[in-house]
Structure 1
Amino acid sequence: MTTIGFPEDQLLSAREVSLRLADGPHPYETLHADGIEENWQAERSRNATLFDGRTVLFSRVALSDGRLVGDCHDVRYASLLHWRLARRTDLAAHLFAMAMPVTADGAVLTVRMAPWTANAGQVYFAGGSFEPSDFVGGVADIDGNMLREVLEETGLDLAGERREALYRVIRSDRGVIVVRRYALAQTARELALRVRHFVAGETRPEIVEPVLVTRGSPPDPALLPWVRRIVDWHFATPFDE
């Protein structure tokens, strides 16, 4: 796996993102098949609600001249969980995309994950890994993935909302994260009420609550470091259309 142009924890910009779903198994999944299954059984023993669905794992990621490209493979969710044990390998990388909703009064919407999820209690933007269904003609619909995940987790429909022209890209121990800011017309209080109402009506919500981050407010202890890095950048950087 080749990763180019990703100094860790440095926020970069991309005007174009092209992610492709490759044919055939991922070399990482083939090499670690036994370990993946063993770890999956251990994960299930700790959290029986986990589901071994399909996701993707990348074999190539590169950023050059404002263009982010990547090749990925259809894998078990169990393979992604196994990758998370060490995270650093030349065979594979995790890349995911997240919308960053910004309220009318400048707050940033993050969420606290539900206890039954793989990231229980952690606070970050609503979002999730790519699924094979996110690829149309073998190419990822990155914005479609972002909007679907926000809708599923918060009930907010960002379709048609004003969004920033550029994508922001950061590499952390979680993988490569692609973020795009969306400007919403509602205030932080209004959005918080909407999300709480949505969560209360869900049988098995993916999140516990919205966590609104405002300028100068102390960060939630569970806010992931890479999210805080992006939030700090947001408060120092005007919205770019």
Structure 2
Amino acid sequence: MTRSAPRPDGRIVQLDEVEMHLTADEWPWAVENRERIDANWRRLKAEKPALFNGQVLVMSESRITARKLTGRYIATDYASFLAMRDFGAPPPGTGNCFAMAALRSADGAFVLGVMGDHTANAGKAYFPAGTPDLADVLPDGRVDLLGSVERELAEETGLGADDVTIGEGWTAVFDEPRLALMRPVQSVLPADRLVGRIENFLAAEPEPELSGIRLVRRVGDIDPATMPPFLQLYLKHMLT
């Protein structure tokens, strides 16, 4: 497995382009830790029966050159992905690289969703996002992270391409082993109407992924108890 190039100075980097590819490599760490991974999965599944052990993508290599991120993913099962999170010591160069829809209302509020009780990250507040999976892989092997943003936004909030404007470029937030890629998404609706629309969508869903909506208008609205460090970094960067 190729190790990533050294991380750039600073925790936030502006990018013009992202180009990630899926490889056919096997993840040695998952093979070596199979027994621990399976035991961890049994525990998680007992706590949250709705969890599904599907295939997801783990970053195995990345580098930034001239405002462009390039790198590679390896496919693995969700049990191994969660074990990497829970064990707290992923192999060097390995991480969770995912894209988020940095949704903002017309009057400047950032709009976050609170994850439902049946999810792996229950109670945490995020922008719409998901771990990349095989559905994001294009025929040429490229991983369509912009497509992931659009899909997750629609699945979690009901907002489609006609409801928002997706901006250019990415803001990369490094919080190893996480690499969050924020894509600006702008609504024409003010915060109260936008929240109302999303809540109506959630109420009509048989099992919505989100349990509620949180607004962040100023730094004081950032909640360290529910918002992960990489999201706090991004919000502070944007609001100060």
> Shared topology, TM-score over 0.5?
yes
Output the amino acid matched with 1:104.
A
Note the alpha carbon deviations across 1:83-134, whole angstroms, 9 max, x for none.
1021442162111110101111001011100011000000111111001110
The whole-number CA distance in structure 2 between the counterparts of 1:214 and 1:117 is 26
Give the Å deviation of 1:225: 2.3
The 1:125–1:5 alpha-carbon spacing in structure 2 relative to 1, beyond 3 Å, is: farther
Q: Deviations over 1:208-227 (max 9, x none)?
A: 01111113543234122221
Structure-1 separation of matches of 2:10 and 2:130: 20
Match of 1:101 among 100, 103, 111: 103
What amino acid sits opposite 1:118 in the alignment? A
Secondary structure at the aligned position of 1:227 is classed as helix
Q: Tell me the secondary structure at the aligned position of residue 232 of structure 1.
A: helix
Q: How many aligned positions are there?
A: 236
User: Deviation digits for residues 10-45 of structure 1, max 9, x if unmatched?
Assistant: 110111101100013222222222222121112112
2:102 corresponds to which letter in structure 1? M
Partner of residue 207, structure 1: 210
Letter matched to residue 112 of structure 2: T
**2:221 is matched with which residue?**
218
Match of 2:126 among 124, 127, 138: 124
What does residue range 27-38 of structure 1 map to in structure 2 within 5 Å? 27-38=28-39
Q: What does residue 165 of structure 1 align with?
A: 168
Q: Deviations over 1:125-149 (max 9, x none)?
A: 1111001110102101111101101
**2:228 aligned with 1:229, yes or no?**
no
Do the aligned residues in 2 keep the contact of 1:170 with 1:178 (CA within 8 Å)?
yes
Q: Which amino acid aligns with 2:45?
A: R
Matched residue of 2:231: which SS? helix
- Aligned-partner Cα distance in 1 for 2:34–2:205: 35
Does the aligned pair in 2 maintain the 1:8–1:172 contact within 8 Å? no
Aligned to 1:188: 191
Tell me, yes or no, if the aligned pair for 1:55 and 1:132 is still in contact at 8 Å: yes
1:163: how far off? 3.0
Is 2:105–2:187's contact at 8 Å kept on the other side of the alignment?
yes
The alpha-carbon distance between structure 1 residues 5 and 185, as it changes in their structure 2 partners (threshold 3 A), is: farther
Rounded Cα–Cα distance in structure 2 between residues aligned with 1:88 and 1:61 = 15
Identity score, percent: 26
Aligned equivalent of 2:116, options 103, 114, 134: 114
Match of 1:76 in 2: 77
Q: Which residue of 2 aligns with 1:45?
A: 46
Q: What's the TM-score, normalizing by structure 1? A: 0.91
Please, what TM-score do these two structures have when normalized by structure 2? 0.91
Amino acid in structure 2 at the alignment position of 1:227: L
User: Could you say what the CA RMSD is over the residues aligned between the two structures, in angstroms?
Assistant: 1.9
Q: 1:40 to 1:229 in 2, by over 3 A?
A: same
Query: How far apart in 1 are the matches of 2:219 and 2:130?
Result: 28
Residue identity in the other structure for 1:108:
F
Query: For structure 1, which runs of at least 5 residues remain unmatched after alignment?
Result: 237-241
More off after superposition, 102-111 vs 27-36: 27-36
Counterparts of 1:123 and 1:51, CA distance in 2: 21
Is residue 90 from structure 1 mapped to residue 96 from structure 2 by the alignment?
no
